């Protein structure tokens, strides 16, 4: 794989600027259906990671990112929220999905966004002086 150059970055400028958030389809066994997730924007991912490290808010981290990144079905739909009697918007996540599913969906979302430590890989272990 060639090294990335300034010229190559300039050539790819429009593609880089116009990147769309990636999506992925997941099968949820308990519902017998598929959902579509979207990679989180950087700010949302960092906010979720911060929540996960805060003892007072760690239980809310996974439902938070699932609520914001499941795009099909739209968990933010007011009719859905009303029908399930949600008092907080993220309540819908806990009402629809099992706890293990919430954790798994959250993991897929973070992985899709590259927040699993695998978005960039090391080529060579040799140190160069």
Q: What digits encode the pLDDT tens for the residues 10-58?
A: 998 988 888 888 999 999 999 999 999 999 999 999 999 999 999 988 8
* Stronger pLDDT, 100 or 117, i.e. the higher one: 100
Q: What is the CATH number of the domain that holds 92?
A: 3.30.2220.20
3-state SS, one letter per residue, for the chain: CCCCCHHHHHHCHHHHHCCCCCEEEEEEHHHCEEEEEECCCHHHHHHHHHHHHCCCCHHHHHHHHHHHHEEECCCCCHHHHHHCCCCCCCHHHHHHCCHHHHHHHHHHHHHHCCCCCCCCCCCCCCCCC
pTM: 0.81
Q: Identify whether 105 is part of a domain.
A: yes
Q: Identify whether 72 is part of a domain.
A: yes
Q: Identify whether 60 is part of a domain.
A: yes
Q: What digits encode the pLDDT tens for the residues 68-100?
A: 999 999 999 999 999 999 999 999 999 999 999
Q: Identify whether 9 is part of a domain.
A: no
Domain count within the chain: 1
Domain span at 108? 22-112
């Amino acid at each position: 794989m060639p090294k990335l150059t300034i010229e190559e970055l300039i050539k790819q400028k429009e593609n880089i600027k116009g990147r769309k958030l990636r999506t992925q389809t997941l099968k949820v066994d308990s519902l017998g259906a598929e959902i579509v997730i979207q990679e989180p924007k950087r700010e949302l991912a960092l906010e979720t990671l911060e929540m996960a490290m805060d003892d007072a808010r760690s239980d809310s981290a996974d439902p938070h990112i699932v609520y914001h990144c499941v795009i099909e079905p739209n968990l933010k739909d007011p009719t859905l929220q009303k029908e399930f009697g949600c008092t907080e918007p993220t309540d819908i996540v806990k009402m629809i999905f099992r706890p293990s599913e919430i954790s798994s969906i959250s993991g897929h979302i973070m992985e899709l966004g590259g927040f699993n430590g695998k978005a960039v890989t090391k080529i060579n272990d040799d140190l160069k002086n």
